[in-house]
Amino acid sequence: MEIALHGHYGYRRLVVSSIPSILMMLVGSIYSVVDGLFVSNFVGTSAFAALNIIWPAVMLVGALGLMVGTGGSALVSKTMGEGDPDRADAIFSMLIRFTLLLSFVSMVPLLLFMEPLARLLGAEGETLHLCVVYGSICAVGLPAFMLQMCFQSFYMAAELPQLGTVMSIVCAFTNMALDALFIPVFHWGLAGAAAASMIACCVGGFFPLWYFSSRRNRSSLHLVRSGFERKPLLNACSNGLSEYVGNISWNILAICYNLQLLRMMGENGVAAYSVLLYYGYIFAAVFFGYNITVTPIIGYNYGAGNKAELKSLLRHSVILLLALGALMTLVSELSSGPAARLFVGYDSELTALTKDAIRLYMLSFFIAGINLFVSAWFTGLGNGKVSAAVAFVRNLVLELGFVFLLPFLLGPRGIWLAVDAADLCCLGLGVTLILAYRKRYGY
């Protein structure tokens, strides 16, 4: 089946077209999980906790690449829908160059302030040292990391999502092979895990830079000579703000979860939450992959003025995501025990805590896909403000509030229910916004 932005998208075409992007995100999530498995089983609980204390801070900066890529892919797709491929190439090229510039500007302060940042996040003693080691290596690899995140959003706009899948698989095997070499064989510990991840990011970030510039490129997008233009740059960044807000919110939440868990449960609480996040990333990757696929399609049809197709995309997406959410919730509940034993089976008390956390936290996946899609829907329509507002309210208002409120009302187990309560409240907001903007966009 042809994978292109134009034409009608029914259930079958949506599913088939989204498979490459879903696989790309799944593979990316899996090799992050493998990192955690190697660290947890070969380096220890302290290193595992350190990795997950400092990683959210690195992601706060790295997610700028996601912001540029997501907002930019919608803008580029809209320009293509308006029938101006040369202009689309120029905007695409400018955004890639901007991402590379932004990464070098961000790298230096992150390196300089890594230790104070780790202290601020609650690390101390040996955990502090491990945080600084892991975070510093990631900071050096920031240009490759940000480029990789940016390109992930453009593969569908280039009508070449298969390349994104192939790149994810290559990066995954690179990371896993280097993990196996650096950690158990060379005994480099947490530094080895960071080095393996950043070398894999170099593959994922710099290969597409070469490909989209080369004569072998047969996609709809090409890297060409272009200058910096204020208006499209601001449009792309403001439109992608929702994904950045969503991502940094996720990481700010992780920081707050860690602080709460250190206070209530110590390192075991942080380790359990780390497993929960790794497990959750795999399931969330399905939603993220779907949204990466559908956002450029929404932008293309909006640019082409195809209101009937917009209405169809909305209806089909909601039904598909509800079905996926129900399936993933069931699978997560049934597999919570094996997942906990896989990561922390060496400690029976920690295994029981982790299993309980997964079962409570993952109930949210039944409706989480709809909430994430609402944000992607408005990004595709070029309405970054509404998209960002949805992400902000879901994460930094509702879930963050429940992280502190529910343990006070229900005890320590209440912290695992924070995301469930937040998603339930956010669903009402999403439905209201979809209905409120129907006349404006004609869907």
Q: What percent of the chain has pLDDT over 90?
A: 49
Mean pLDDT of the 230-245 span: 85
pLDDT for 31:
65
How far apart are alpha carbons 106 and 139 in whole angstroms?
9
Mean pLDDT of the 183-207 span: 95
Count CA atoms within 13 Å of residue 371 on its CB side.
28
Q: Decide: 150 and 68 in contact? Cβ < 8 Å.
A: yes
pLDDT grade for 373, boundaries at 50, 70 and 90: very high
399-422 burial by CB neighbour count: b if 16+ within 10 A, else e?
Answer: bbebbeebbeeeeeebbbbbbbbb
Mean pLDDT of the 104-122 span: 92
Better-scored residue on pLDDT, 252 or 440: 440
Checking if the pLDDT of 418 tops 80, the result is yes
Predicted TM-score (pTM) of the model is 0.73
pLDDT for 256:
85
194-205 burial by CB neighbour count: b if 16+ within 10 A, else e?
Answer: bbbbbbbbbbbb
Checking if the pLDDT of 2 tops 70, the result is no
Checking if the pLDDT of 218 tops 90, the result is no
How far apart are alpha carbons 310 and 313 in whole angstroms?
5
pLDDT for 181:
96
pLDDT for 1:
52
Mean pLDDT of the 225-236 span: 91
Checking if the pLDDT of 395 tops 90, the result is no
pLDDT for 69:
93
Count CA atoms within 13 Å of residue 328 on its CB side.
25
Closest CA to 194 of 337, 321, 350, 43: 43
Task: Please write the tens of the pLDDT for every residue from 19-48.
Answer: 888 888 887 777 667 777 888 889 987 888
Better-scored residue on pLDDT, 244 or 97: 97
Q: Residue 261 corresponds to which tokens in the numbers above? A: 């868990």
Task: Enumerate the H helices of 229-344 as residue ranges.
Answer: 230-239, 241-264, 267-303, 307-334, 336-344
pLDDT for 396:
81
pLDDT for 114:
95
Q: Residue 173 corresponds to which tokens in the numbers above? A: 């095997």
Better-scored residue on pLDDT, 97 or 26: 97
pLDDT for 224:
95
pLDDT grade for 277, boundaries at 50, 70 and 90: confident
Mean pLDDT of the 329-353 span: 86
Q: Residue 46 corresponds to which tokens in the numbers above? A: 């302290």
pLDDT for 45:
78
Task: Please write the tens of the pLDDT for every residue from 6-15.
Answer: 889 999 999 9
Backbone region of residue 128 per phi and psi (left: phi > 0; alpha: psi in -120 to 50; beta: other values): alpha
Q: Decide: 416 and 362 in contact? Cβ < 8 Å.
A: no
User: What is Dmax (Cα atoms) for the chain?
Assistant: 62
Query: Letter for the amino acid at 420?
Result: D
How far apart are alpha carbons 224 and 89 in whole angstroms?
7
Only one residue has tokens 């993990």, namely 179
Checking if the pLDDT of 278 tops 90, the result is no
Checking if the pLDDT of 345 tops 70, the result is yes
Q: How many residues does the chain have?
A: 443
Checking if the pLDDT of 105 tops 90, the result is yes
Task: Please write the tens of the pLDDT for every residue from 157-183.
Answer: 898 888 988 998 899 899 999 999 999
